[in-house]
Amino acid sequence: MAVMNVNPTRMEMKRLQGRLKTATRGHKLLKDKTDEMIRRFIDLAEQNKRLREQTEQELCSALNAFAEARAVTDARVVDEAILMPSRKVELVCSKRKVMGIDVPSMQINDSGGELYPYSFLTVTAKLDDSLRGLNNVLLRLVELAETEKTCNMLAEEIEKNKRRVNALENIMIPQLTETIRYIKMKLDESERAATVRLMKVKDIIGK
């Protein structure tokens, strides 16, 4: 490890020792934070996997029910039944903190309108199943989007923290340690040289 270009003085050594202490403490804190973020990331990744599987299953069921409804009922009747939806939803986006990171928080506000905007006499019950399933899928999709975005943001922050930890562990701390050792060695050499000069002066005076 290359030694830093500094003056080998006691003041400089004291300053570098302070930096080394700060860097060591910062390395420990960053490493602990990274470990906790990885734990949170694993939990969220497992939750994201479950949500994705449930969403895909529910979406597939809803689409199958819709296909069955169109198969047993005239397509024009089905299209007319769902042409004018009587229900509106609003997506409210905000932020929340996870390990100091601003991650998205999404919530759906439902207008509370009628889920089935048609007469039950004109269409099959499969269309009811399809609309009910799609309504559930919408809520699930919002939750999935929030969880997946949080996972991505945590993964990016974990990568940044790992780079910082590696820089401290493999570059900064070894460089500071080596520089402090170098300064201490130079100071010891200076002290020995001064001691030798004093002894020679003493011998000369004694003679």
Residue written as token pair 């499969």? 126
| Residue that wins the pLDDT comparison between 70 and 207 | 70
Does the pLDDT value for residue 72 go beyond 80? no
CA angle 30, 48, 165 (to 5 degrees): 15
pTM of the entire predicted model: 0.73
The pLDDT of residue 186: 86
Does the pLDDT value for residue 174 go beyond 70? yes
Residue 5 lies in a domain: no
Q: How far apart are CA 139 and CA 153, in angstroms?
A: 22
Q: Which two tokens stand for residue 62?
A: 């809803």
Residue 36 lies in a domain: yes
Q: How far is CA 67 from CA 13, 61, 88, 124, in A?
A: 77, 10, 24, 11
CATH number (domain holding residue 97)? 1.10.287.3240
CA gyration radius for the chain? Answer: 35
Residue 4 lies in a domain: no
Range name among 38-42, 102-106, 125-129, 185-189 with the lowest pLDDT average: 125-129
Instruction: Say whether 80 sits in a helix, a strand or coil.
Output: helix
Residue 8 — very low, low, confident or very high, per pLDDT cuts 50/70/90? confident
Residue 138 C-beta-side C-alpha neighbours within 13 Å: 15
3-state secondary structure 9-59: CHHHHHHHHHHHHHHHHHHHHHHHHHHHHHHHHHHHHHHHHHHHHHHHHHH
8 A C-beta contact, residue 34 and residue 162: yes
Residue 207 lies in a domain: no
Residue 169 lies in a domain: yes
Domain count, the chain: 1
pLDDT tens digits along 94-152: 888 888 888 888 888 776 666 666 666 667 778 778 878 888 888 888 899 999 999 99
Residue 167 lies in a domain: yes
Residue 111 lies in a domain: yes
Highest mean pLDDT among 1-15, 33-47, 85-99, 115-129: 33-47
Does the pLDDT value for residue 78 go beyond 80? no
Largest CA distance in the chain: 128
| Residue that wins the pLDDT comparison between 190 and 53 | 53
Residue 117 lies in a domain: yes
pLDDT, averaged across the chain: 84
The residue segments making up the domain with residue 158 are 10-201
